[in-house]
Structure 1
Amino acid sequence: MTRTLDKFYPGIAGKARETKRKNIHFWAKHKREKIQGECVTESGSKQRRTRDLGVATVLPQPAEEEIVVWIKSLRDDGVPVSAFMLQTKCVEVAAAYGVSTDYFKASWSFRWGFMRRHALTLRRPTRQGQQSPPDADAKAVAFRNKVLDLMREHKVDRVFNADQTAVFFEYLPKHTVSDRGTKTVWVRCGGKDKERVTVMLLGDSLGNKFTPFIIAKSRPPKDETKAEANRQERQGFGVHVWKEVTALQARHDAVIYGNQRGWWNGALSVAFLHHHFGGRPRDSSPVLLLWDDFSAHWTEEVSACARDLNVVLVPVPPGCTSVCQPADISWNRPLKLRLRTQWIENLQTQLSQPREHSEKFKLQPPTRKGVVEWAVSAWAALSQATIMSGFSFIFRNSTTTAPSEMEGEAAANAIASSVVVAELEHHDQIDVNVGEVSAVDDVIERFLTKAVEGITAADEIAAVVSGVSDSN
């Protein structure tokens, strides 16, 4: 008995150990044959407890239907329903129907069976925002018409979009391979999983990418005179750090600023506008810049600067950036994917370094220099088609000049190709090292032909995938 308790219940003592000893004696006396019979089967040997079929506490059908109606009403309003919320609601409904909550706990096995019976499942959100998808799509149509009207009014043939995003020092995977049944799944980090820099990206509807602004954290000196000198002369950095920043700017196509929070502000918005649009002739055409409603984009100083530089700031509808802002539509996801890839490559490089057999692995987080290099290279790797595809919701089926210096059918083909390539890139179906392609096997050309005929890229891609599946 002592060996049995030590093996199956290690670490318990006192009254708890005595209770387990009595349980084992009871099982041996009254349930030995049943337990031995269950252990013969593979599934039975893995169970911690057994119960005869049909013996369970369940909810009546009307109770389950009431829970389903509750779930669907919340989801129609966009409210998330977590596993805990479902469990709480099931217990509440059970009590209302007279089912004893002493026995019915809405365990995970009940919830799993309940969701299977009613064609429900737990899913990760694929889109979030303050607006429901139909409302957001309606605002996207109105915003598209507004942008097209502004393009006609100002006689411009392209649109710009700028958006800031966080680039973290560590991109720990959300899942890891581990032993089944392990309660604590621990992963090692470098201690900088919350550290980040802010990157402001700028692109236009021609597919051009422009120099990114990178904002890093910089501790200001206590002396206000030195702090002001840092802001005016060294973009927010001290004398020694400024030498490193200068070298990074010279080596990479980036502008690097520093402040205490490492986040965007109104002064940086002014500097950003001057850097990208300040060198144009006074009589040049206006610039249409789509910018979200972040407060630092719309201060009086920023608005005055934009007017002086002949930049027309177009506010993206609040809560609709997922369908109205090109960066959120097609830039940010592949950018973050490349950043995660670079972090994994950095981890693999560290793991490949030789170390003593007894020496434990210690993950070294990237330096500020490394993060800047990651951000610049990830931005540079985005294709022209990816940048253009973010603007496709504006120019699709539009009579306004397409976002290209080409005209007519060539411009329409350029937009169609950008959408197709972006979709393929989104699904990791683009080989960047493919080299030359025979005109006979030019899949993109075939997609463009279908696009002119009114067949969408998604339909054509589906047809190609279906054909591959049939051939296999």
Structure 2
Amino acid sequence: MHLGMTNKNFSYKLGTHRLEVTEEEKDLGVLVDRRMTMSRQCDVAVKKANAVLGCIRRSISSRDKEVLVPLYKALVSPHLEYCVQFWSPMFKKDEYKLERVQRRATRMIRGMENLSYERRLEELGLFTLTKRRLSEIKRKRSSYHAAFKLKVVEYAEANNNCAAAREFCINEKQVRECKKKCPTRCASFPELEKDLNNWVVECRQNGYIVTRTGIHLRALQMSKDNKYKSVKPSMFVASAGCCTRFISHHGLCLCQRTKIAQKLPRDLEEKIESFQRFIIKYRKEYAFELSQIGNMDETPMTFDLPSNRTVTGVGEKTVLIKTSGHEKIHFTVVLSCLANGSKLPPVVVFKRKTLPKNMKFPAGVIVCAHEKGWMDESETIEWLEKVWNKRPGALFKKPAMLVWDMFRAHKTDEVKNVAKNMKTTLAVIPGGLTSVLQLLDVCLNKPFKDRLRKMWSEWMCSGMAKLTEGRNHMKPEINLVAQWIKDSWVSIPSEMVEKSFRKCCISNALDGSEDDGLENWLPARQGKPLAGRDFLFTWSVCRHGAP
């Protein structure tokens, strides 16, 4: 067989035998001609299918769809779809020939004679041959309405999946998919699932991780209780399918964590009330000025601060953000502020043994070096002497209050003695409550880091970054980082600092005149968030006593 219009039609020999030239050849039931149009194969397939369909018409007297549709699928359709991936028709006339066979078959069914072809296919659950060849069956399967799927599931549970597939003229796989998605299936152990769901909700409210394995083990443990014994004789096995159905029935899903949040303690209200009583007690005793009430916090930072989002073209599968490769090298920034809106100079602790001798750092920021890049007891004492003791009013030995967290370097005896010599009362935030009472964490750290990230992005886009020999970006110099930190901290408005102290109920007026501005901000606990007015009531009780 010579293929192609420009073929020179050479003759070939096999030994001394001359090979004959043929116009078409049949292999594995598929007829191929020299023009490769597949029209001859379509004619052969249509002829065989019509012959079988005519035999069915003459032999079978019934015209019910329950009889003719299975016969069509078993005896006629294979002739039209055998190896169709290879000989799929090229011309519209060939497609029409194949489709006419199915049109004829559907018109044979009683009650379908006067319906359109598309309507007949919808009623019988069939698809056009063209769409079957184009692999669009999966998209069309979703067009089944809910009532039809419920009928399929009901019939399958009364009989079996194969019987339901034959009854409704669909695939057995579609029956299984309908049963998986059916919302009407009753649980075998409803009481157990109810208590198990309550356990999952309680764990998530407390911030604990709940996995499929954890649900499996918890269900097995609960099944040993007599009150969960089912009326059915089957034994509870807590299989993977049971876990999947349990998650689906109760509107649960597996999600990737968004952040590692600090777990709030169970005695949240009690600890907040105790801390507020401590603040109010010493404020009444020493009458601290707003300029003598401060807050200090250490926050880790990195040399690279890339944003998680960027504008790019629609449909981009890979979104790259260029950095200097130092997004995991940390240093520490110590921020502190006063209740009157003043901001104390920031302290930057870099992870290195010594600072460069010839490098000049900007005024208004204190830069130091530490082998671990973090604050310890000696660094804390140095901060008290260089920053806290330099605040306005410190030279007059005015009584002051310093609010900070329970970091171990804040609770040593030497640090307490240094603070006592400075006439400073240390208010230590209870463990687990920094996300509630640490005003720098609640209000100021995010805008500070946003400003710092903006400066880093401008530096990367400006082309000012130095390059290595391999043409990679070098990390920014530490004096430049110190300048960014200074500018970012200075740009924080004083009004924001004042409101932060009032929001955390540290500098509120003791006469209650500033309580109206308190917003609803406290996180939820056990499904019932503590609203701002409730938190304000706690502050009022601590200030005046229980009503």
- Assess same fold via TM > 0.5: yes
Match of 2:427 among 299, 314, 318: 314
Are residues 1:384 and 2:513 paired? Answer: no
Letter matched to residue 372 of structure 2:
R
The corresponding residue for 2:262 is 128
Who wins on radius of gyration, i.e. which is larger?
Answer: 2
Tell me if the contact between 2:193 and 2:246 (Cα under 8 Å) persists in the aligned partners. no
Instruction: Report the CA distance shift for 1:87/1:349 in structure 2 as closer, same or farther (over 3 A).
Output: farther
The corresponding residue for 1:81 is 209
Instruction: Report the CA distance shift for 1:171/1:98 in structure 2 as closer, same or farther (over 3 A).
Output: farther
3-state DSSP class of the match of 2:180? Answer: coil
Letter matched to residue 68 of structure 1:
N
The corresponding residue for 1:211 is 345
Instruction: Report the CA distance shift for 1:92/1:151 in structure 2 as closer, same or farther (over 3 A).
Output: closer
| Separation in 2, partners of 1:294, 1:56 | 52
Tell me if the contact between 1:163 and 1:292 (Cα under 8 Å) persists in the aligned partners. yes
Tell me if the contact between 1:190 and 1:363 (Cα under 8 Å) persists in the aligned partners. yes
**Structure 1: gaps spanning 5 or more residues:** 1-24, 220-235, 403-408, 424-450, 457-472
**Structure 2: gaps spanning 5 or more residues:** 1-77, 86-125, 143-172, 224-233, 522-531, 536-547
Displacement after TM superposition at 1:103 (Å): 8.0
Are residues 1:199 and 2:333 paired? Answer: yes
3-state DSSP class of the match of 1:171? Answer: coil
Tell me if the contact between 2:333 and 2:348 (Cα under 8 Å) persists in the aligned partners. yes
The corresponding residue for 2:44 is none
Task: Write the deviation string for residues 309-357 of structure 1: whole angstroms up to 9, x where unpaired.
Answer: 222222121221122222122111222222333333334435x99x9xx
Letter matched to residue 56 of structure 1:
K
Displacement after TM superposition at 1:290 (Å): 1.0
The corresponding residue for 1:373 is 483
Tell me if the contact between 2:294 and 2:339 (Cα under 8 Å) persists in the aligned partners. yes
Displacement after TM superposition at 1:129 (Å): 2.9
| Separation in 1, partners of 2:84, 2:179 | 17
Displacement after TM superposition at 1:72 (Å): 1.4
3-state DSSP class of the match of 2:385? Answer: helix
3-state DSSP class of the match of 1:390? Answer: helix
Task: Write the deviation string for residues 144-173 of structure 1: whole angstroms up to 9, x where unpaired.
Answer: 221121112112122111111112112234
Letter matched to residue 136 of structure 1:
L
Instruction: Report the CA distance shift for 1:140/1:88 in structure 2 as closer, same or farther (over 3 A).
Output: closer
The corresponding residue for 1:54 is 178
Displacement after TM superposition at 1:296 (Å): 1.3
More helix per residue: 1 or 2? Answer: 1
Using structure 2 for the length normalisation, give the TM-score.
Answer: 0.52
| Separation in 2, partners of 1:327, 1:122 | 28
Instruction: Report the CA distance shift for 1:361/1:398 in structure 2 as closer, same or farther (over 3 A).
Output: same
Letter matched to residue 419 of structure 2:
A
The corresponding residue for 2:135 is 39
| Match runs of 1:240-389 below 5 Å | 241-244=356-359, 247-248=360-361, 251-278=362-389, 284-350=397-463, 362=472, 364-389=474-499
3-state DSSP class of the match of 2:387? Answer: helix
Letter matched to residue 147 of structure 1:
I
The structure whose RCO (Cα within 8 Å, separation 6+) is larger is 1
Instruction: Report the CA distance shift for 1:151/1:68 in structure 2 as closer, same or farther (over 3 A).
Output: same
Displacement after TM superposition at 1:74 (Å): 1.5
Using structure 1 for the length normalisation, give the TM-score.
Answer: 0.59
Displacement after TM superposition at 1:65 (Å): 3.8
| Separation in 2, partners of 1:150, 1:30 | 88
Instruction: Report the CA distance shift for 1:331/1:31 in structure 2 as closer, same or farther (over 3 A).
Output: farther
Displacement after TM superposition at 1:257 (Å): 0.6
Task: Write the deviation string for residues 86-129 of structure 1: whole angstroms up to 9, x where unpaired.
Answer: 3763698599887999984967xx7985564x699777469523
Aligned Cα root-mean-square deviation (Å):
4.8
| Residue range with higher mean Cα deviation, 194-203 or 296-305 | 296-305
The corresponding residue for 2:108 is none
Displacement after TM superposition at 1:270 (Å): 1.4
Tell me if the contact between 1:161 and 1:290 (Cα under 8 Å) persists in the aligned partners. yes
Instruction: Report the CA distance shift for 1:120/1:288 in structure 2 as closer, same or farther (over 3 A).
Output: same
The corresponding residue for 1:232 is none
| Separation in 1, partners of 2:247, 2:454 | 34
Displacement after TM superposition at 1:195 (Å): 1.0
| Separation in 1, partners of 2:288, 2:240 | 70
